[in-house]
């Protein structure tokens, strides 16, 4: 597995696979160019189906347009076998293609191809399953975050400190912004309102309201193109920060405990990314919100004093109960149902951690098995439910809008 630095990335929303990945691909393609007359970029599959709502064309053109005019070609009807988020870059000089490159955005801002697979990146972790890591913890008498510490370079804690600061800044920005989100759906920001209303209730309801507010703040910043941390993706970026911020506010945890919780959360996210997928276009929203909830549940359980076995149980439970969740963004925007899902998943993460901490950590189905089932389920989902905006809520919303126009 790769370093957590390849999981937690800082960038602009609204989508790690449809915005950050294409931007990264455009930067790499541009870096190898000489003088050209123009660029042509063909987007395939999910990138073409929902790219306009996810600002894919904007992200690419922002990189290439300052150098040469750039044409975007949309081919949602073509889906490549390697991954649905395909991109074909062409550099043109004197009406001849002088360079071309096919690359895929596979989720979390990561790009790869058959010639440049993700597994060829530097391997940091010697073990590739939570089952192996738990056995190591038991043998060495160490915890999950210590496995991260032993595997990563010395600067990992400085990196996680930067990640935590960015998460906090995003929440602060989100709580202090209001108005309507861009994109045409006229979705109003709610984070500030939820936070203010939390003061009107008793401790139990108030705590839950504030948890929602923190998740909404992050997800709304993402939807508006603000700076977020992929945790593990932009579309699911509100879950883990909300849980950590909420627990740090309530219990006044020292920063080192939060960084250790981030390390443990990242371990579970990395397993899902490496052994399955964190891409909604490949495996549905279970791979984004589901994995984010598992990461947050693991972090919360550790902060609550959970054992490695209880932490694994919390993560397993959180992911298991998101199996089959579809990715059907209305109008291709990361707003409906995405924003609310971040808030609900944050609450579910806390519930999973609480449930696990009350147990002895023993259960029948482990996290690794659920990751396998998630990927199998994702492959069995029709493409309508994998970030194409052609099925589910997206289709019904579109039909309703069309019927209103005909009246």
Q: What CATH number is attached to the domain comprising 8?
A: 3.30.1330.90
Q: Which domain holds residue 329?
A: 124-399
**Domain check: are 149 and 184 in the same one?**
yes
**Domain check: are 179 and 247 in the same one?**
yes
Q: How far apart are CA 5 and CA 25, in angstroms?
A: 18
Per residue of the chain (407 residues), what is the pLDDT tens digit? 999 999 999 999 999 999 999 999 999 999 999 999 999 999 999 999 999 989 999 999 999 999 999 999 999 999 999 999 999 999 999 999 999 999 999 999 999 999 887 644 578 999 999 999 999 999 999 999 999 999 999 999 999 999 999 999 999 999 999 999 999 999 999 999 999 999 999 999 999 999 999 999 999 999 999 999 999 999 999 999 999 999 999 999 999 999 999 999 999 999 999 999 999 999 999 999 999 999 999 999 999 999 999 999 999 999 999 999 999 999 999 999 999 999 999 999 999 999 999 999 999 999 999 999 999 999 999 999 999 999 999 999 988 877 776 66
**Domain check: are 131 and 56 in the same one?**
no
What total of structural domains would you count in the chain? 2
Q: How far apart are CA 315 and CA 330, in angstroms?
A: 29
Q: How far apart are CA 316 and CA 367, in angstroms?
A: 4
Residue 170 neighbours by CB under 8 Å, 6+ apart:
217, 218, 221, 226, 227, 228, 229, 237, 241
**Domain check: are 98 and 227 in the same one?**
no
**Domain check: are 84 and 138 in the same one?**
no
Does a structural domain hold residue 406?
Answer: no
Q: How far apart are CA 260 and CA 121, in angstroms?
A: 24
Q: How far apart are CA 229 and CA 279, in angstroms?
A: 15
Contact (Cβ atoms closer than 8 angstroms) between residue 221 and residue 170: yes
Per-residue tokens: 351: 């519930």
Does a structural domain hold residue 176?
Answer: yes
Does a structural domain hold residue 8?
Answer: yes
**Domain check: are 59 and 114 in the same one?**
yes
**Domain check: are 150 and 105 in the same one?**
no
């Amino acid at each position: 597995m790769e370093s957590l630095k390849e999981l937690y990335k800082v960038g602009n929303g609204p989508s790690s696979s449809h915005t950050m990945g294409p931007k990264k691909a455009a930067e790499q393609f541009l870096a190898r160019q000489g003088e050209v007359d123009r660029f042509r970029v063909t987007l395939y599959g999910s990138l073409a189906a929902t790219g306009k709502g996810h600002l894919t064309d904007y992200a690419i053109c922002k990189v290439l347009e300052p150098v040469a005019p750039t044409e975007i070609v949309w081919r949602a009807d073509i889906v490549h076998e390697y991954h649905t988020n395909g991109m074909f870059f062409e550099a043109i000089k004197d009406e001849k293609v002088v360079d071309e490159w096919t690359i895929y955005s596979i989720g979390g801002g990561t790009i790869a191809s058959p010639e440049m697979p993700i597994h060829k990146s530097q391997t940091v972790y010697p073990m590739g399953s939570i089952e192996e890591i738990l056995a190591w913890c038991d043998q060495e008498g160490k915890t999950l975050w210590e496995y991260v510490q032993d595997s990563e370079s010395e600067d990992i804690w400085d990196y996680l400190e930067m990640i935590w600061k960015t998460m906090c800044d995003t929440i602060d920005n989100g709580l202090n912004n209001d108005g309507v989100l861009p994109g045409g759906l006229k979705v109003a920001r709610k984070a500030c309102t939820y936070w203010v209303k939390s003061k009107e209730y008793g401790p139990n309801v108030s705590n839950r309201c504030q948890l929602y507010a923190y998740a909404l703040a992050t997800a709304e910043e993402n939807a508006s193109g603000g700076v977020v941390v992929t945790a593990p993706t932009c579309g699911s970026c509100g879950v883990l920060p909300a849980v950590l911020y909420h627990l740090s506010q309530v219990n006044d945890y020292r920063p080192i405990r939060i960084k250790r919780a981030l390390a443990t959360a990242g371990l579970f996210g990395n397993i899902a990314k490496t052994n399955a997928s964190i891409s909604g276009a490949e495996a549905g929203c279970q791979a984004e919100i589901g994995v984010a909830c598992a990461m947050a549940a693991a972090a919360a359980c550790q902060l609550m004093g959970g054992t490695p076995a209880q932490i694994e149980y919390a993560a397993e439970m959180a992911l298991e109960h998101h199996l089959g969740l579809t990715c059907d963004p209305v109008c291709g925007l990361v707003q409906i149902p995405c924003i609310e899902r971040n808030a609900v998943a944050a609450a579910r993460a806390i519930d999973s951690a609480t449930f696990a901490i009350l147990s002895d950590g023993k259960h029948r189905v482990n996290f690794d098995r659920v990751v396998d089932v998630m990927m199998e389920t994702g492959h069995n989902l029709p493409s309508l439910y994998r970030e194409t905006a052609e099925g589910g809520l997206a289709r019904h919303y579109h039909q309703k809008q069309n019927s209103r126009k005909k009246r």
